[in-house]
Amino acid sequence: MTMMMDRLRSADRRPAPVAADGARGPLLTVDGLAKHYGARIGCTGVGFDLWPGEVLGIVGESGSGKTTLLKAIAGLVAPDAGSIRYDAGAGPVEVRALSEPERRRLMRTDWAFVHQNPRDGLRMGVSAGANVGERLMARGQRHYGRIRGAALDWLARVEIAGARLDDRPSAFSGGMQQRLQIARNLVSEPRLVFMDEPTGGLDVSVQARLLDLIRALVRELGLSAIVVTHDLAVVRLLADRLMVMKDGRVVEAGLTDQVLDDPAHAYTQLLVSSILQV
């Protein structure tokens, strides 16, 4: 694992994110976001910018509000306060002020959400091809041959054999299900992908291949992504920038290598020192 990490890091570390065309602002701007569960804090006072092509990691221990934050940004739970501005190319738009049809359209075209458990993100009752094709059909594609072609193409891109196209996801291994979920989300060519523990529950060799795949896809498609994980190796490989959360608040943020190699906050130091060295 460590060897592979070193190889990947030295070989093709992404350049620091800058707005490619200079003129464009951040893709996503989050400000003062809060979600409370009654008197308890889910997350509070969270703010950051996400630039086009950038991958932001969110780390922290269980219960620190990572997933709540991700779901609040993605609109899966309604935030209590704060603003989320998204720039689809025509200037920033306040997502929370969008009408429900507009928000749902955004969710299934420009955005994508990769769930920790692939069963939450897949339709287990229909074939892999139908899973990948669903977003295309939701956008109005009505040509069976072309939908199937696109599904086949995407299965190849996530390294699933084309012969499995008509198999149901329930016949897939955990790693394949997760890759299928990624294909199903990326087929609509989203600009922003939310990932909640994308490697959770997978063994390390499968994790490593999945991370390789996600890295390649993110770079190839120029995606922006927000990745929530408790696994620091995952963010080390994927994320350009890092936010560390504790008790619903962001305690430290910065470039990934900077945060991990030179943690400033006591909690981050604890987190980094807790990694098992094999």
Partner 1 sequence: MSGHENASGAAGAEAYNFAYLDEQTKRMIRRAILKAVAIPGYQVPFASREMPMPYGWGTGGVQVTAACLTAEDRLKVIDQGADDTTNAVSIRKFFERTAGVKTTEETEQATIIQTRHRIPEAPLAEGQIMVFQVPIPEPLRFLEPRETETRKMHALEEYGLMHVKLYEDISVHGHIATTYAYPVLVEGRYVMDPSPIPKFDNPKLDDSPALMLFGAGREQRIYALPPHTRVQSLDFEDHPFDRGHWDEDCALCGDAGSYLDEVITDDAGGRIFVCSDTAHCRARRQAGHAGAASAPYEEAGA
Q: Where along the sequence are the contacts to partner 1 (CB under 8 A)? A: 100-101, 104, 123, 125-127, 129-130, 133-135, 137-140, 142-145, 147-148, 165-166
User: Residue 134 or residue 252: which is nearer to partner 1 going by CB?
Assistant: 134
User: Residue 4 or residue 77: which is nearer to partner 1 going by CB?
Assistant: 77
User: Residue 47 or residue 149: which is nearer to partner 1 going by CB?
Assistant: 149
What's the min distance (Å) between Cβ of 155 and partner 1? 13
- What angle separates helix 128-138 from helix 174-186, to the nearest 10 degrees? 20
- Residue 260: count of CB within 10 angstroms of its CB: 22
What's the min distance (Å) between Cβ of 106 and partner 1? 13
> For the chain, how many residues are written?
278
User: Residue 122 or residue 243: which is nearer to partner 1 going by CB?
Assistant: 122
What's the min distance (Å) between Cβ of 71 and partner 1? 17
Helices of type H across 222-255: 232-238
User: Residue 36 or residue 119: which is nearer to partner 1 going by CB?
Assistant: 119
What's the min distance (Å) between Cβ of 104 and partner 1? 6
Alpha carbons 266 and 189: distance in angstroms, whole number? 40
CA angle 212, 217, 222 (to 5 degrees): 135
Burial of 89 (0-12, 13-18, 19+ CB in 10 A): exposed
What's the min distance (Å) between Cβ of 126 and partner 1? 5
User: Residue 96 or residue 148: which is nearer to partner 1 going by CB?
Assistant: 148
Tokens at 208, concatenated: 């490593």
User: Residue 82 or residue 118: which is nearer to partner 1 going by CB?
Assistant: 118
User: Residue 138 or residue 156: which is nearer to partner 1 going by CB?
Assistant: 138
Burial of 244 (0-12, 13-18, 19+ CB in 10 A): buried
What's the min distance (Å) between Cβ of 236 and partner 1? 38
**Residue 21 φ/ψ, nearest 5 degrees:** -95, 10
Q: Where are the beta strands (DSSP E) in the chain?
A: 28-37, 40-50, 55-59, 81-87, 92-94, 111-114, 192-196, 224-228, 241-246, 249-255
What are the CA-CA distances from residue 115 to residues 82, 97, 167, 183, 209 (Å)? 24, 25, 21, 13, 18
Say if residues 259 and 271 touch (Cβ distance below 8 Å): no
What's the min distance (Å) between Cβ of 78 and partner 1? 15
SS3 state of residue 82: strand
What's the min distance (Å) between Cβ of 231 and partner 1? 32
